Structure 1
Amino acid sequence: MGKTLIEIDEDALAVAQDAFGTKTKKDTVNRALREVSDRVKRHEARMAAERIAAEALDLDALADKITYRPGPTVGGDQGQAA
Structure 2
Amino acid sequence: MNPPRAIAHPSQEGKYLKNPLLGGAGGLSEVIAKVRCTLISFALEELIRTRKKRNLLDLSGQIQFSTDYDYKALRTNRNVSD
Q: TM-score of the superposition, structure 1-length normalised?
A: 0.54
Q: Are 1:17 and 2:26 matched, yes or no?
A: yes
Q: Are 1:48 and 2:59 matched, yes or no?
A: yes
User: CA-to-partner distance for each residue in 1:8-65, whole Å, 9 max, x for gaps?
Assistant: 110000011111232211011111111111100001012124321xxx17xxxxxxxx
For this pair of structures, how many residues does the alignment match?
52
Kindly report structure 1 stretches of 4+ aligned residues shifted beyond 2 Å. none
Identity percentage of aligned residues: 15
Q: Distance in 1 between matches of 2:48 and 2:21?
A: 18
Higher helix share: 1
Paired amino acid for 2:21: A
Q: Which runs of 5+ in 2 are unaligned?
A: 1-5, 66-82
Q: TM-score of the superposition, structure 2-length normalised?
A: 0.54
Q: Which runs of 5+ in 1 are unaligned?
A: 58-82
Ranked by relative contact order (alpha carbons within 8 Å, sequence separation 6 or more), the top structure is 2
Aligned runs of 1:21-36 on 2, under 5 Å? 21=31, 22-36=33-47
Supply the RMSD in Å over aligned alpha carbons.
1.9
Moved more, 13-22 or 32-41: 13-22
